[in-house]
Amino acid sequence: MNTQPTPSRRTVLAAAGIATAGLVAAACGRSDDTTSAQKSKQPTVKVTYTPALDDPAAPNPTAKVEVKASGGTLNPDVKLVNASGKAVTGTLSDDRTTFTVNEVLGYGTTYTWQGSAVGQDRLTVPVKGSFTTLDPKQQLNVVVNIADGQEVGIAAPLILKFDGTVDDKEAVERALTLTTTPPAEGSWAWLGEDNGSRVHWRSKEYLTPGTKIHMSAKLYGLDHGGGAYGAADVTSDYTVGRSQIVKADAPSHQIVVVRDGSTLMTLPCSYGEGDVDRNVTRSGIHVVSEKYEDFYMSNPAAGYFNVHERWAVRISNNGEFIHANPETVGVQGSSNVTNGCINLSLDNAQQYFTTAIYGDPVEVTGTRIDLSEADGDIFDWTYDWDTWKSMSAIKGTPQSASVPATPSGAPSSVSAPN
């Protein structure tokens, strides 16, 4: 009978080895399939950006800027960097789902997101992308006339002077906040263009001595109209000092300086001669705006140029000062002969000069021409309260004064040369 040969032990082991190898190969094949599936799996974490990176509109630099993770968390390496690679300040929320920028961005600047987020499936996604902020056609700067910590008189208006025209006056005025302690009624009013717009704040009545005033103008990023945006926010914190009022009755040929309700000094003087309109000291509430120990004044219409005057206190931008004039001492107290200023002796002028501060009212009476917008920069107190409020832009088109801060033909004055 035929019998099949019995496999040797080596043959059996070899066959077993072949089978084992097959099993290993099959196991390796299943492992590769699992890895590929994991790699193709979509991450659970989703990242959203504010502003949206696909928004074609350039965001305002004051707008909210943040990145959020849903279905996962942001890693601590998340940041927003400027064009120079410097990270802007920001805060990662406690649950690590939101990173919020808390630094105001710049105009016309490109910012780039960097970092990563991780999902609940432990898969990571990059935080990336860029946006460029709004680049205005024009940036308007503003100058505030009262400095922080300054002490002012009871009639002091606060003036914001822009270096260009504000078309959207209502939007700008709504960005202005002014508070007084104790409370005092006041209003903003837009006056005539003077190489740029200007808005004044004035109280209804003279302010109470000791009043503290805080003004905040949130102008950066604000559309001023006509393609112009605010260049910066501004603030001013100041205090009303003592009450000092100059009672200046032209027919009396003197001024009476009243401090906190009591007469501080009575000084003989000479007012405008009044023979022609330009020589009339204007009646009305003037406001002390500046003062100089030495001034050189020119008035071509009156025939004098670069005349050295001492202890000059400006009360209007039409050329009116309270100042020393030795040439009129002989008639001070008895006759009015000036070109519109209020003349004092050297000693009296210096005595008054040392007491005057910005915002002191000078109440001129008894002349034939009233102070008006034609007389220059600070004529705020010539308006009754209802008219002044009508010059605000909040309630519609402001009833604006139409003349610049410096009238044409006004006497010029320059500080003494070095």
- Number of structural domains the chain divides into: 3
Residue 341 among the catalytic residues: yes
Strand 198-203 relative to strand 158-162, pairing: antiparallel
Whether residue 36 lies inside any domain: the answer is: no
- Same domain assignment for residues 156 and 233: yes
How far apart are the C-alpha atoms of 226 and 309, rounded to whole Å? Answer: 45
Calculate Rg over the CA atoms of the chain.
38
Here the CATH number for the domain that contains residue 153 is 2.60.40.3710
Tell me which of 238, 254, 285 is where a domain ends.
238
The pLDDT, as a whole number, for residue 167 is 98
**Domain assignment present for 288:** yes
Same domain, 204 and 258: no
Does residue 79 share a domain with residue 193? no
Is 404 among the domain residues? Answer: no
Q: Tell me how far apart the alpha carbons of residues 70 and 49 are, in angstroms, rounded to a whole number.
A: 12
Note whether 232 and 181 are same-domain residues. yes
Per-residue pLDDT at 27: 40
118/143 same-domain check: no
CA distance 70 to 61: 25
Are residues 368 and 246 located together in one domain of the fold?
yes
323 φψ region: left (φ > 0), alpha (ψ -120 to 50), beta (else): beta
**Closest C-alpha to 363, from 147, 151, 153, 145:** 153
Alpha-carbon dihedral sign for residues 162, 163, 167, 168: negative
Residues 156 and 172 reside in one and the same domain:
yes
Q: For position 194, what pLDDT does the model report?
A: 87
CATH number at residue 97: 2.60.40.3780
Q: What are phi and psi of 270, to 5 degrees?
A: -130, 130
For residues 233 and 248, membership in a common domain is answered with: no
Structural domain range at position 108: 44-130
Residue 216 lies in a domain: yes
300 shares a domain with 179: no
Beta-strand pair 212-217/234-240: antiparallel
- Residues 297, 314 within the same domain: yes
Q: Tell me, yes or no, whether 412 lies in a domain.
A: no
Question: How far is CA 345 from each of CA 310, 349, 353, rounded to the nearest angstrom?
Answer: 10, 6, 12
Q: Which of 76, 108, 130 is the last residue of a domain?
A: 130
Low-confidence ranges of the chain (pLDDT < 50): 1-38, 415-418
Considering the domain architecture, whether residues 250 and 212 belong to the same structural domain is answered as no
Report the percent of the chain where pLDDT is more than 70: 85
Catalytic residue among 200, 224, 286, 323: 323
Is 140 part of a structural domain of the chain? yes
Residues 170 and 145 in one domain: yes
Residue 11 lies in a domain: no
Where a domain ends, among 105, 130, 155?
130
The pLDDT assigned to 370 comes to: 97
Look at residue 299 in the predicted model and tell me its pLDDT. Answer: 84
The CATH number of residue 262's host domain is: 2.40.440.10
In a domain, residue 115? The reply is yes
